[in-house]
Amino acid sequence: MAAPPAAFAATAATVREEVAVRVAALKSRYADNVCGGTPGLAVVIVGERKDSQTYVRSKRAACEAAGIASFGYELPADSSQESLIDLIRTLNDRTDVHGILVQLPLPAGMNDEVVLDAIALDKDVDGFHALNFGRLAMAGRSPPRAVPCTPKGVIELLDRYGVDPAGKRAVILGRSNIVGLPVALLLMHRNATVTVCHSKTVNVGDLVREADIVVSAVGRPGYVKAEWLKPGVVVVDVGINAVDDATKKRGYRLVGDVEWEGALSVASAITPVPGGVGPMTIAMLLVNTVDAAERSFQHQ
C-alpha cells in the first residue's frame, strides 16, 4: 500500500472493472429475466446536504459506468419518516431493484435505526440492517448478506496489497457503526488482536505505538501524530477533513486524520487522502449490489 495515490485509484478502478465483467455475465445469463439480468440500485437522499449530494452523484455515476441500473430518489428535508419508509417498502417490492441505499445522515427527527431496518435484508447493500450487522458480529453463524462498504474496502485494500492481519496488533481509532466497529469485527475475523480507541480512551498514543496496523476514522485532521507510529506500521486513513487553504480555488483542501508527511517516513504502507479508502467504498457498494442481484436471479 505504499504506492502513490494513483495506484490506489487504480485499485478501485480494477474492482469496478471486475464488477462490470460480472454485470455483463449476469445480463447474458439472465437475459430472459424480468429486468434482463441488470442489477439495480436505488439511492435515496433526504434533504439538501451538499456533501451527501456529492456522494450520491458519485455512487450513481459509478453504477452506470459498471452497467448497473441506478434509481435516484430525492426527498425534501421536511419529509416525514413514514413517507420515507413507505418509499423503502415500495422499493423492497420492486423486482428491478436489488439494492437499496439510504444516504446518511438523515435529518433531525428521523430514527436511522428504524429507517435502515425497514430495508429488506437481501437488499441492504450498505450492511447496516440489524440482522446483517449482528451476523457480522457473531462467529460461526450465517454470514451477513452484505458488509458495510467502507470497512469492506479497508479489508480489500489490505488483501490486494498483501497485508495479512493474522497475528498482528491492530488499533482502530473511532468506534462508529459505519466504520470503526465493523472494521474491528472484520479484523478480528482475520485473527488480528484488536484495540478500539475512542473519545474516552486514555494514552491513545501509547496504544498506537504498539500497532502493526492502524485504522483511523475519527474525522480530525492531523490527529494521528507521526511520532505515535512505529517503524513499518501499515496505516489506513479513513478520515476526510476539509482544511483552509488559500492556494486552492475552493479555498480548502482535503486531508486525512494522519500527519501525512511525517507518517510517510515511518510507515511501510499508508493510504492517501483523497484517493485511498474513498474510491474503494464506492467500489464495494457496486460489489454488494451485484452480489444481491446474483442472489435474486438465482432465487427467481
164 is written with which cell numbers? 495479512
> Side-chain half-sphere of 148: how many Cα atoms within 13 Å?
28
Residues 103, 122, 257, 291: which is the catalytic one? 103
Of 142, 170, 175, nearest in space to 158 by CA? 170
Residues 122, 124, 126, 291: which is the catalytic one? 126
Sign of the alpha-carbon dihedral angle for 161, 162, 166, 169:
negative
Annotated catalytic residue 245 = no
Torsion of CA 278, 281, 286, 288, to 10 degrees: 180
Annotated catalytic residue 103 = yes
Q: State the helix-helix crossing angle for 149-160 and 5-29, rounded to 10 degrees.
A: 110
Q: Which residues contact 116 (CB under 8 A, 6 or more apart)?
A: 102, 124, 126, 128, 129, 130
Annotated catalytic residue 59 = yes
> String of b and e for 166-201 (b: at least 16 CB within 10 Å)?
eebbbbbbbbeebbbbbbbbbbeebebbbbbbeeee
Residue 279 preceded by cis peptide, ω within 30: no
Give Cα separations from 264 to 159, 163, 164, 233, 272 (angstroms).
Answer: 21, 17, 21, 10, 10
Of 217, 221, 213, 177, nearest in space to 197 by CA? 217
Positions annotated as catalytic residues are 59, 103, 126
